[in-house]
Copies of this chain bind each other. A is one copy, B any other.
Amino acid sequence: MKHNFGAGPGILPQEVFKQAAAAVLDFNGTGLSLLEISHRSPEFEEVLNEAVALVKELFSVPEGYSVLFLQGGASTQFAMAPNNLLPEGGKAAYLDSGVWASKALKEAKFFGNVEVVASSKESNYTYIPKDYTIPADAAYFHITSNNTIYGTQLQQFPKSPVPLVCDMSSDIFSREVNVADFGLIYAGAQKNMGPAGVTLVIVKDDILGKSGRKIPAMYNYEVQIEGGSMYNTPPCFAIYVSMLTLKWLKSKGGVQAIEKDNNEKARVLYEEIDRNPLFKAVAATEDRSRMNVCFVMENAELEKPFLKYCDEKGIVGLKGHRSVGGFRASIYNALPITSVYVLIDAMREFAEKNK
Q: Which residues of A contact B (CB under 8 A)?
A: 1-2, 4, 6-12, 17-18, 20-22, 24-25, 30-33, 35-39, 71-76, 78-79, 83, 103, 106-107, 110, 188, 190, 195-198, 214-219, 231-238, 241, 314, 316-317
The answer on a CB contact under 8 Å between A17 and B24 is: yes
Which single residue of chain B is at the shortest CB-CB distance from A30? B2
The answer on a CB contact under 8 Å between B12 and A31 is: no
20 intermolecular pairs with C-beta atoms under 8 Å apart = A6-B36, A6-B38, A9-B35, A9-B37, A11-B36, A12-B33, A17-B24, A17-B33, A17-B35, A71-B72, A71-B73, A71-B197, A79-B216, A188-B232, A190-B233, A196-B233, A196-B234, A196-B237, A197-B197, A235-B235
A227, chain B: closest CB distance, angstroms: 10
Residues of B near A32 (CB, < 8 A) are: 2, 4, 316
This chain's copy number in the assembly: 2
Which single residue of chain B is at the shortest CB-CB distance from A35? B195
* CB-CB under 8 A for A238 and B241, given A7-B38, A218-B76, A218-B78: no
For the A-B complex with A79-B216, A197-B234 known, give 4 more contacts whose Cβ atoms are closer than 8 Å: A1-B31, A2-B31, A9-B233, A71-B235
Residues of B near A11 (CB, < 8 A) are: 36
Residues of B near A20 (CB, < 8 A) are: 24, 35
The answer on a CB contact under 8 Å between B38 and A9 is: yes
The answer on a CB contact under 8 Å between B72 and A9 is: no
Q: Which of B21, B37, B76, B217 contacts A71 (CB 8 A)?
A: B76
The answer on a CB contact under 8 Å between A25 and B17 is: yes
A319, chain B: closest CB distance, angstroms: 10
* CB-CB under 8 A for A12 and B38, given A107-B217, A232-B74: no
Which single residue of chain B is at the shortest CB-CB distance from A41? B6
Residues of B near A76 (CB, < 8 A) are: 71-72, 218, 232
Which of A8, A10, A39, A233 has the most chain B CB atoms closer than 10 A to its own CB? A233
Which single residue of chain B is at the shortest CB-CB distance from A1? B31
Residues of B near A17 (CB, < 8 A) are: 24-25, 33, 35-36
The answer on a CB contact under 8 Å between A217 and B79 is: yes
Q: Which of B38, B196, B234 contacts A39 (CB 8 A)?
A: B196
Residues of B near A237 (CB, < 8 A) are: 195-197, 237-238
